[in-house]
């Protein structure tokens, strides 16, 4: 588990890359409950109750994606000078800053969860995990806030996007690091 980074630490890491991972603790708890129901279904089967097979199968099938989410590296956000890669179930693609609009925070109707939404000009209908979702009038959304609040992550992504693009929205090369002062050569 990576330690939680502050907004300032991530902003100062430009041009990156920086990796952020979601808090998977909640998913591990849900996985543990699912596995407990699988075990209960198996015990029911051993006691001759046919319904136990259905309990074990149903919760066992739910446990598979939960186990994948809980594995290290299955989900992460890599932010770099060119853009970002949102990895879900070990799959991701580079989304370039030149193709995305500013990030906005939107609240999902159910559960009140806050997510980041944006428009992705390169998006082909159905090619992205969250495509077609049309949250808050946008064609894309990030699947997580990666251990930060939605406002913090929006601030980070909008800052990196603004630094990578010029006033016309065109990509500009990464800024060269400041030169190091020459080492003193006292002999």
Joined together, the tokens standing for residue 152 give: 């913090």
Q: Which numeric CATH code is attached to 7-21+73-164? A: 2.30.29
Which residue do the tokens 């853009």 mark?
A: 83
The answer to whether 139 and 123 have CB atoms below 8 angstroms apart is yes
pLDDT digits (tens, 9 = 90+) for 4-15: 677 777 777 777
pLDDT digits (tens, 9 = 90+) for 91-119: 888 889 988 888 988 887 776 788 888 88
Planar angle of CA 105, 111, 112, nearest 5 degrees: 30
Question: pTM of the entire structure?
Answer: 0.69
| Percent of the chain scoring above 90 in pLDDT | 14
């Amino acid at each position: 588990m990576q330690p939680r980074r502050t907004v300032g630490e991530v902003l100062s890491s430009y041009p990156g890359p920086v990796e952020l991972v979601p808090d998977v603790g909640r998913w591990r708890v849900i996985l543990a409950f699912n596995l407990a129901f699988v075990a209960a279904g198996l015990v029911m089967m051993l006691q001759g109750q046919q319904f136990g097979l259905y309990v074990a199968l149903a919760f066992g099938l739910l446990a598979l994606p939960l186990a994948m989410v809980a594995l290290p590296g299955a989900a992460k956000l890599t932010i770099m000078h060119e853009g970002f890669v949102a990895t879900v179930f070990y799959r991701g693609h580079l989304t370039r800053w030149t193709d995305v609009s500013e990030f906005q925070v939107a609240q999902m109707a159910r559960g009140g969860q806050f997510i980041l939404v944006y428009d992705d000009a390169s998006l082909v209908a159905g090619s992205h995990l969250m495509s077609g979702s049309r949250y808050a009038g946008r064609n894309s959304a990030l699947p997580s806030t990666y251990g930060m609040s939605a406002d913090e992550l929006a601030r980070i992504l909008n800052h990196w996007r603004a630094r990578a693009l010029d006033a016309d929205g065109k990509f500009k090369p990464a800024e060269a690091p400041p030169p190091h002062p020459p080492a003193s050569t006292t002999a």
